[in-house]
Amino acid sequence: MKKILSILSIFILISSTQSCSNNDEDYIMEPQTILNIIDESMNYTFLAYSLKETNLADVLDGADKYTLMAPSNMAFREFLMQNGFNSIDEVPKNLLKQILLNHVMPGVLEYRDIETGYYKSAATSEASLTPLSIYIKQVNMRVTINGESRITQGNVRANNGIIHAVSSVIPLPSLVTFVTADANLSNLTAALTRKDLSVDFVTTLSSKNGMSSAPFTVFAPTDQAFIDLLVELGDSISK
């Protein structure tokens, strides 16, 4: 009897081991691309649809490495409402494509490696036909982009890059975007927005390429440059 029980115990143990092995094989995770992750998330249905409509899905499904700033469905709804669109289909495809590319950076940028400064996006400037810049500000691990959008979840890793969820759609920047977003240009912002000016510099510098006198080239004095100027002017007046 004892021999029979021993044999049964061994058989059950072998069967359990084989069953566990089979289950392990069933749950092996296949490598996922950025597109796979976006496609499988109910939080990014607007983004997934937009990528396919602009033929950018293949880009984020390939072997090249990218960093994607991913707006949620709520962020897209807010963008559509603010810009007078009822649906993604109403956004001109060329504009939508550039906006999406403005959320993509070549290479992999881990959240811990983000530093304050200017980065290149995959979007293209109409004025110079060069990559558009985005200004990223990092303060105490809180990251904002172009002074408007904030990273709400970082480091969703894919086998061809990384995803950072953002709080809002990042619009294509104007010169005013960078002047107001860059902490080193706060004095320039104050100078351009003085109420006693006869020229509306904010509206002028926000003009789209080809409109009014755009495009522009701006030599932007930093806060320290303004401080140096004020010191020099103070010295001149005192003399």
Tokens of 43: 């939080």
Note the pLDDT tens digit of each residue in 5-46: 455 454 444 454 454 444 444 545 567 999 999 999 999 999
Q: What is the DSSP letter of 28?
A: P
Residue spans of alpha helices (H) in the chain: 2-26, 34-40, 45-53, 73-82, 93-101, 175-181, 186-192, 201-205, 223-238
Across the chain, mean pLDDT equals 84
Tokens of 226: 């303004």
Name the residue ranges covered by the structural domains of the chain: 34-172, 183-238
Residue 169 has pLDDT above 70, yes or no: yes
pLDDT bracket for residue 209 (50, 70, 90): low
pTM for the complete prediction? 0.78
Which residue in 51, 60, 63, 153 sits closest to 93, CA to CA?
51
The lowest-confidence range among 4-8, 202-206, 224-228 is: 4-8
Pick the CATH number of 34-172 from 1.10.357.10, 2.60.40.10, 3.40.50.150, 2.30.180.10: 2.30.180.10
pLDDT for res 118? 95
pLDDT for res 237? 45
The helix-helix angle for 45-53 and 93-101 (nearest 10°) equals 120
